[in-house]
Amino acid sequence: MSPPRTALIAITSAKFPMYPEGKNTGLFISEALHPFNVLSKAGFEIDFASENGEWVPDWMSEQEDYLNGDDLKQYQDVNSPFRKALAKCAKADDVDPKKYGVFFAAGGHAALIDFPGAVKLQQIASTIYKDGGIVSAVCHGPAIIAGLDSEVIKGKKVTGFTKKGEEDLKVLSTIEDDWKRKIVADYAKDVGAEYVSPAGPWDAFIVTDGRLVTGANPQSAHKTGEGIIEAFEKL
C-alpha cells in the first residue's frame, strides 16, 4: 500500500537578527513556496508545521532578488493556497505523522538554530520514513538530520548549503560563534551521512538516495520538489 499523497512542510520557528537594521532570518519563503507549488500541481495535499507552531519570514527572502513575479503575487495574496496553508501552520506536537507520505524541511538560516534540536519534527520525519514515505529538505533544512533515526540517514548521501556559501555571505562566524551551531556538512558527518557538494554554492543541485531527497540552496527548491515526486512515484 502506497503512503498517503499528502505532504508536511516543516518550517523553522526560530528567528535571529542577522541582516542590516536588525532584520531577522527565519523561513526562506521560496524554499517553501516552490516545493509547495510543485507538489500541489502533482495532486498532493499539503500542510505546514513548525516545532512550536510559529514562524517568521526571512527578511532577505522577501527581497526582489529572491521573491518576484508570480512568486511575489502568491506570497502577497493572503487568499492564495500557499498563504492559506501557511496561516494554518501547526505545532509539531499536534501533527499526526500517519497522515503524510512526504516530510519536507524548508530552509532559511534560522533552521540551523532550531532544527538540530527540533525533537518533535524529527520524530515526525522518522515515522514517515519508517512507514515507507519520503524525507526531504533543502538548503539549511537538512539541519533536521541531526536528530533523525539512524535508519533514515546513516550511510546516505545528502546535500545542503555549502561552507563556501556561508563564507560568501560572511555569516560563518555568526553560525559557529554566536549561535554555537554547525553547517549542514558537519551535521551530515556527525550522523554518518555523506555530504555531497554542488559544483558552486548557488548551483541548482539535488541528491536523491532512495527515499531521501535533499537540495543545496534556494535555487534548488523547485528541483527538490520534482525530486520528491520522482521518488514518491517509485514507491
Known catalytic membership, residue 139: yes
Residue 1 lies in a domain: no
Give the structural domain span for 61: 6-233
Residue 187 maps to a domain = yes
Q: Is 89 noted as a catalytic residue in this protein?
A: no
Domains of the chain: total: 1
Is 64 annotated as catalytic? no
Q: What is the residue whose three cell numbers read 534560522?
A: 110
Q: Quote the pLDDT of residue 46.
A: 98
Residue at 148 is within a domain: yes
- Indicate left, alpha or beta for 114 from its phi (over 0: left) and psi (-120 to 50: alpha): alpha
Q: Would you say residue 94 lies in a domain?
A: yes
CATH of the domain at 216: 3.40.50.880
Which are the contacts of 201, defined by CB distance < 8 A and separation ≥ 6?
161, 162, 164, 165, 168, 216, 217
Name the catalytic one among 64, 139, 151, 167. Answer: 139
Q: Are strands 16-17 and 24-25 parallel, antiparallel or unpaired?
A: antiparallel
Q: What is the pTM of this model?
A: 0.98
What secondary structure, in 3-state letters, does the chain show?
CCCCCEEEEECCCCCEECCHHHCEECECHHHHHHHHHHHHHCCCEEEEEECCCCCCECCHHHCCCCCCHHHHHHHHCCCCHHHHHHHCCEEHHHCCHHHCCEEEECCCCCHHHHHHHCHHHHHHHHHHHHCCCEEEEECCHHHHHHHCCHHHHCCCEECCCCHHHHHHCCCHHHHHHHCCCCCHHHHHHHCCCEECCCCCCCCCCEEEECCEEEECCHHHHHHHHHHHHHHHCCC
pLDDT along the chain (235 residues), means of 10: 94 94 96 98 98 97 97 98 98 98 98 98 98 98 97 97 97 95 98 98 98 98 98 97
Q: Tell me what pLDDT residue 2 has.
A: 85
Considering the candidates 34, 109, 140, 222, report the single residue annotated as catalytic.
Answer: 140
**What is the model's pLDDT at position 6?**
98
Tell me which of 31, 166, 176, 230 is the catalytic residue.
166
